[in-house]
Chain A
Amino acid sequence: MGLVSRGAAEAGRGAASAVDRPGPPDAVPNPTPTPPAEGADPGSSRSPGMVLKAFFPTCCASADSGLLVGRWVPEQSSAVVLAVVHFPFIPIQVKELLAQVQQASQVGVTVLGTWCHRRQEPEESLGHFLEGLGAIFSHRPWFQLCRERGSKSWSCKATHWQGPASPAASGEDQVMLIFYDQRKVLLSQLHPPTALPDRQAGDTTASAGGLAAVFDTVARSEALFQSDRFDEGPVRLSHWQSEGMEASILVELAKWAAGPVCLFLACLLSLISAASACRVFKLWPLSFIWSKLSTCEQLRHRLEQLTLIFSTRKAESPAQLMRKANMLVSVLLDVALGLMLLSWLHRKDLIGQLADALIPVADRVAEELQHLLQWLMGAPAGLKMNRALDQVLGRFFLYHIHLWISYIHLMSPFIERILWHVGLSACLGLTVALSILSDIIALLTFHIYCFYVYGARLYCLKIHGLSSLWRLFRGKKWNVLRQRVDSCSYDLDQLFIGTLLFTILVFLLPTTALYYLVFTLLRLLVVAVQGLIHLLVDLINSLPLYSLGLRLCRPYRLAAGVKFRVLEHETGRPLRLLMQINPLPYSRVVHTYRLPTCGCHPKHSWGSLCRKLFFGELIYPWRQRGNKQD
């Protein structure tokens, strides 16, 4: 059956090709319409009154008459027109070109119908000629779009051949014309609405029908848009490139230069990462310091990002390409802001002023702490403290402060040079400068951190002692094996000593609690300041600036969906709609494309934080990735 049909089709094509070559369609005699053997497709679902949709590119609306080439989507009864093939053409060459495109792009591109752009009422021969073409290219339904030159009246028919015996019984369907801007649809990327959390990823593909298929078809048919009607080829096509080829010299140069530059930078970065991963830095004191400083974390993060940007592998998906672009813009902005900061610091000679002011400020802070301790050692806020314990703790902390002040005075000649070198690091980026600032704050308030740890440990010990002795007072015991409270019978002397200790601890509780409270508040203040700086660094790290710029300047590239507008409508004419791209809102752009950050976020909820504070457990809000918990 197949061989016979092909022979018949060849015969038909041979007859038609001989008459196509001379040129203008009006001079062609009527070819006998050879009925195609695969005419009535029994598998096509068709019901009377169904409306077919034809997606037509706006760039082809002014093209000369020819054949419509595109893809037919039977599930949505819609035809996506991709290009117009102009007269004169040889059907065999058209079919070859379409087969090539189909192989290259995996899109089922076929001839869908005819397109007629004429001046006045059609002549009879043209009508028969166009129907004859319907016989050569077997596609059902066969579309015949028609437009009068210079006016807005369109007409379209979609016919189905019922069979060779009864061509008059062919049915016609209503057609709805939907115009779309081919270039914008080609370049845009559809973002489906966020799936609900209880769905698997595979389910969404079933519902992403209709319009996603149109976008997909246009995007994958790049191979069809290679040649144009102005090219010297066997087949002349009209599509979005016919409106003028767009290219920018700078972009082309950048693409050409990107290869060697990426290779060179990738080698450099791999050298740096190899140097930083060598064994010397993994020894215990150094590795401990590196893990605590946020500057090292930030530098490592930037190094990873740069390695990703300049890697010689091409990006596999549009999401990866966006991520690379976002990272590059973020790094460039960071370096620019850092250089601005550096120039501002040097212009006003702020580094010298800062170095001069640092020692007096540290002295002032130590003095204030001493005043605070003197106040605590007296009768703070009218509370009566246990004098002995008070004096012990107060003297201990005062000695600490004395040590700290001497240390600072020892360092004072070197401060300015250290600050100057640190200021230079701002040319690596504003985020690095901010991380260094956060680390400097941490180093300068190290004594507050020490006091907090001492106070917290004492308080924690006291609270645990109190709870265990309270259980003894009630005659219970903590069962470590079963992890629960069990009753226990104690001896009399155990009970006596336990109750004594319990009383002592209870009366010493206010003193310890007060010291703990004061130093915890100071520590929380320092942590809050560091937290703000980290928040700013995270913001600069994770904001997708390239995507936001793209949304601002080329909103059609990031599409949330489409919107339709009904064009002028006359009764009796088909319904015409204009499909435009609905851009993604800014909040969704940030949400979809935000870059991953170091992950230094507080991992406690407010409830667990309060619980830890009450029981005296140490809080470490800025746990770095990969460190074990204390």
Chain B
Amino acid sequence: MEDEQSFSDICGGRLALQRRFYSPSCLEFCLSCPRITLRSLTAVTCTVWLAAYGLFTLCENTMILSAAIFITLLGLLGYLHFVKIDHETLLIIDSLGIQMTSSYASGKESTTFIEMGQVNDVVINEAIYMKVIYYLCILLKDPVEPHGISQVVPLFQSAKPRLDCLIEVYRSCQDILAHQKATSTSP
């Protein structure tokens, strides 16, 4: 079962939240970030090439122009492979764990998996950063102290959705976590 909703992020860009319901114990959320626009790409390329041409008229060295082309190409490839995130996915599997995947624009994926035994809770935190923003995070258990928190792992850091989107994700996560706690703590 799959459904898609449209939200906006804290900067005003459009986000698409796709929710896939595989079973009562397995849920996947996929948040797509705004794509790289042709306008920004053209603007950056033109700036770099105009600057290179300006230097060329000063120095009369053609190496500057070829260097500018190389820099633009390498910079674009590096940006797509290391910086620009296309979509972020959150997969919750009851009794296994929570998995976060970030997919970059070049296709590279970077995944982190947290086992359910280490997860204390999933909460929405507030942060003050020139204005108040909300973010979803996972609280990890402290191995020494049973009810303590050892680490906070923030989710959806590149997409940065607003509170309405976070509430949707938060409700579904809490359903699964409650179900998992109920089945694991009963004797």
**Which chain A residues have a beta carbon within 8 Å of chain B's beta carbons?**
45, 47, 49-51, 53, 76-77, 174, 176, 178, 196, 199, 203-204, 206-207, 209-211, 561-564, 566, 569, 575, 577, 582
Contacts and interface: CB of A to CB of B under 8 A. Distances in A.
B144 A203 contact: yes
Q: How large is the interface on B (under 10, 10 to 19, 20 to 34, 35 or more residues)?
A: 20 to 34
Contacts of A50: 95, 183
B96 A564 contact: yes
A47 to B, nearest CB: 4
17 contacts: A47-B183, A50-B183, A51-B94, A51-B183, A53-B96, A176-B25, A176-B96, A203-B143, A563-B111, A564-B91, A564-B96, A566-B22, A566-B28, A566-B91, A569-B22, A582-B112, A582-B113
A196 B145 CA distance: 14
A132 to B, nearest CB: 31
A216 to B, nearest CB: 15
B93 interface: yes
A468 B30 CA distance: 74
Nearest to A210: B115
A562 B91 CA distance: 13
Interface in B86-123: 91, 93-97, 99, 101, 111-113, 115-118
A176 B183 CA distance: 15
B186 interface: yes
B26 interface: yes
A207 B113 contact: no
Nearest to B21: A569
A562 B95 contact: no
B12 interface: no
A15 to B, nearest CB: 38
Contacts of B115: 209-211
A194 to B, nearest CB: 12
B143 A206 contact: yes
Interface string B145-187: 0000010000000000000000000000000000000010011
A53 B96 CA distance: 9
Given A210-B115, A211-B115, A564-B113, A575 B143 contact: no
Nearest to B95: A51
Contacts of B96: 53, 176, 178, 210, 564, 577
Nearest to A45: B187
Interface in B12-53: 20, 22-23, 25-26, 28
Contacts of B117: 207, 209-210
Nearest to A580: B111
Main secondary structure of the interface of B (DSSP, over half): strand
Contact of A569 (B23, B141, B150, B187): B23
B15 to A, nearest CB: 22
B114 to A, nearest CB: 9
Contacts of A562: 113
Contacts of B187: 45, 47
B143 A204 contact: yes
A51 B113 CA distance: 19
Nearest to A204: B143
B95 A563 contact: no
A54 to B, nearest CB: 12
A88 B4 CA distance: 52
A455 B16 CA distance: 72
Question: What 4 A-B pairs come out closest when comparing CB atoms?
Answer: A563-B111, A47-B186, A207-B143, A50-B183
A206 B26 CA distance: 26
Contacts of B95: 50-51, 53, 76-77, 176
Contacts of A199: 143-144
Contacts of A564: 91, 93, 96, 99, 113
B143 A563 contact: no
A145 to B, nearest CB: 18
B176 to A, nearest CB: 11
A178 B23 CA distance: 15
B153 to A, nearest CB: 11
A562 B115 CA distance: 10
Given A51-B95, A207-B143, A566-B91, A561 B113 contact: yes
Nearest to B109: A563
A250 to B, nearest CB: 34
B101 to A, nearest CB: 7
B22 A207 contact: no
B101 A563 contact: yes
A51 B25 contact: yes
B108 to A, nearest CB: 12
A564 to B, nearest CB: 6
A561 B111 CA distance: 9
Contacts of A569: 22-23
Given A207-B143, A211-B115, A564-B93, A196 B22 contact: no
A193 B118 CA distance: 12
Given A209-B117, A561-B112, A566-B91, A575 B144 contact: no
A49 B91 contact: no
A148 to B, nearest CB: 21
Contacts of A204: 143
B33 to A, nearest CB: 21
Given A196-B150, A206-B143, A582-B112, 9 more contacts: A53-B96, A178-B96, A199-B143, A203-B144, A207-B141, A209-B117, A564-B113, A577-B93, A582-B113
Given A45-B187, A77-B95, A564-B96, A575 B26 contact: yes
